[in-house]
Amino acid sequence: MRKNIPPPLHLGLIGWSLEYSLSPRLHLAALQERGIPGEYRLYPIPPLPQGKSYLHEILDSMRGGELHGLNVTIPHKQNVLPLVDELTPVAYAVGAVNTIYLREGRLVGDNTDAAGFQADLEKLIPPGSCANSHQAIVLGAGGAARAVVYVLTHLGWEVTVVARRLEQAQQLAGGFLDVAGKVNPLQMGLSTLTTVRGSLIVNTIPPGMPPDQNASPWPLEVPFPPGAAVYDLVYKPEETRLVQVARSAGLRAANGLGMLIEQAALAFEIWTGQTAPRNVMREAVSQSPEKG
């Protein structure tokens, strides 16, 4: 008697640009480990307005059953908000989507970035170990920054959001008025970073990613706040310029690989209903010669 083989899952990632993404390795390793036939493809979609028609087209493919799950990355985490049929409470509160799935013919936008960030942050700063100050500095005000601010404010942190465009930082802050922590918007600049204080710095913007590995989102001429921990959502290279400089200054620092793995694992569990093999997923990206 032949064993019933489930139909293959068609999964993927939308964003721009995607050539350095580790997501296919993570999800293909998980699918193989769990014996689930399927694929995980990259779908590069340009920023709006150029990419608008492509976004509509790929989401229509999901509604038609051609795709079974999508991850969303820069710059579309907020662009897809009006295009899905409903949002989970977390995605609604964050104001950004990084995972999409189909439920009873309706597209649901979810956010696993928040839980992924919190799980990895607790490895860098164990709960209760930051008694002196719960002030954080978040660099950037995009979709990833929203997930970070969501987590920090619900943990009671006061957050200063620093962005190149002040209005973007103000818009983000305006979405977190009814939370435990306070959010202050500031415009990026040397004078701003020289005076701002915090026991945690979280970078959510691209400087430091290939092909700009030598760039740092925190100006090298500006000293870090004394004793601050540094978390860089950029995960490639393995030791970003920001992480390197922070460690050289004697600070605790981590890149975003742990968050990447955890958010991917949570998305995998949503799509498949199975526990994600986190150790296997980590090995899939740690053993690659291109891991940095």
Q: 3-class DSSP state for residue 42?
A: strand
Query: H helices of 74-221, where?
Result: 89-94, 113-124, 143-154, 166-174, 190-195
CB-CB contact of 90 with 62 (8 Å): no
Candidates 3, 77, 123, 182; catalytic one: 77
Longest dimension (CA), the chain: 72
Within 10 angstroms of residue 64's Cβ, the number of other Cβ atoms is: 9
Cα gap 253→270, rounded to integer Å: 30
- The sign of the dihedral angle between the CA atoms of 255, 261, 263, 264 is positive
123 carries an active-site annotation: no
Length of the chain: 292
Within 10 angstroms of residue 69's Cβ, the number of other Cβ atoms is: 22
CB-CB contact of 38 with 9 (8 Å): yes
DSSP string, 237-292: SSS-HHHHHHHHTT--EE-SHHHHHHHHHHHHHHHHSS---HHHHHHHHHSSTT--
Cα gap 8→76, rounded to integer Å: 26
Which positions are annotated as active-site residues?
Answer: 77
